[in-house]
Amino acid sequence: MQQNGINNCLDGFIEHCKKHRLKITPQRCAIYREMIKLRHHPTIEEIFQAVSRELTNISYDTVNRTVGMFARIGLIDVVKAQSGPRRFDTDPRLHHHFYCLNCGTIIDFDFEDYDNLSLPEDMKKNHSILSKRVVLNGLCKNCREKKSPSSPPGDLNI
């Protein structure tokens, strides 16, 4: 995934499903198609809204299970936020993340220096590594200027 942009088309998606012995259903195709259009870390709810416009009778539950499945086979990334529903990273391009510890905002950024990091030998030997990313934590511009970081995190403003 993620390291190449080829999977953007439905062909690549179908390929990926077959490899994992998942049946090609209209629901799965629609979910995949709508999902990759939504950048900015959509929630299940947001994906459900988008897919509903295509398949009016699809259930929230199917979207939930299917998106979870897509994450499990490495088609997309789970971005677990500090609070609220989990969000998904549907951007297949390689990129990196900054998390604000105070408000929970997640900011995508590009940085070439991070793109070609080599993998540790022992990790490569023992596991199958499908993607890599650098994650920074800190305080975002807004939160840095506030006096006390002790207020609970609000909704994500992504």
Least Cα distance to 87 among 41, 34, 23, 137 occurs for: 41
Distance from C-alpha of 62 to C-alpha of 32, rounded to nearest angstrom: 12
Q: Does 116 bind a copy of itself (CB under 8 A)?
A: no
Q: Which does 58 bind (CB under 5 to 8 A by kind): a copy of itself, DNA, none?
A: DNA
**Phi and psi at residue 26, to the nearest 5°:** -55, -35
Residue from 3, 8, 59, 157 touching DNA (CB under 7 A): that is 59
Q: Does 71 bind a copy of itself (CB under 8 A)?
A: yes
> Which residue lies nearer to a copy of itself by CB, 6 or 129?
129
Let me know the angle formed at the C-alpha of 115 by 106 and 15, rounded to the nearest 5 degrees.
85
Residues between 94 and 153 with contacts to DNA, criterion CB under 7 A: 150, 152-153
Residue from 10, 149, 154, 157 touching a copy of itself (CB under 8 A): that is 149
Q: Which does 67 bind (CB under 5 to 8 A by kind): DNA, a copy of itself, none?
A: none
Per-position DSSP letters for 66-127, written without gaps between them: HHHHHHHTTSSEEE--SSSS-EEE---S--EEEEETTT--EEEE--GGGTTPPPPHHHHHHS
Least Cα distance to 90 among 41, 51, 131, 52 occurs for: 41
Q: Does 133 bind a copy of itself (CB under 8 A)?
A: yes
Tokens 């988008």 -> residue: 50
Which residue(s) pair with 100 in the sheet?
Answer: 138
> Which residue lies nearer to a copy of itself by CB, 52 or 153?
153
> Which residue lies nearer to a copy of itself by CB, 33 or 133?
133
* Span interacting with a copy of itself, options 3-11, 27-35, 42-50, 130-138, rule CB under 8 A: 130-138
Q: Which does 71 bind (CB under 5 to 8 A by kind): a copy of itself, DNA, none?
A: a copy of itself
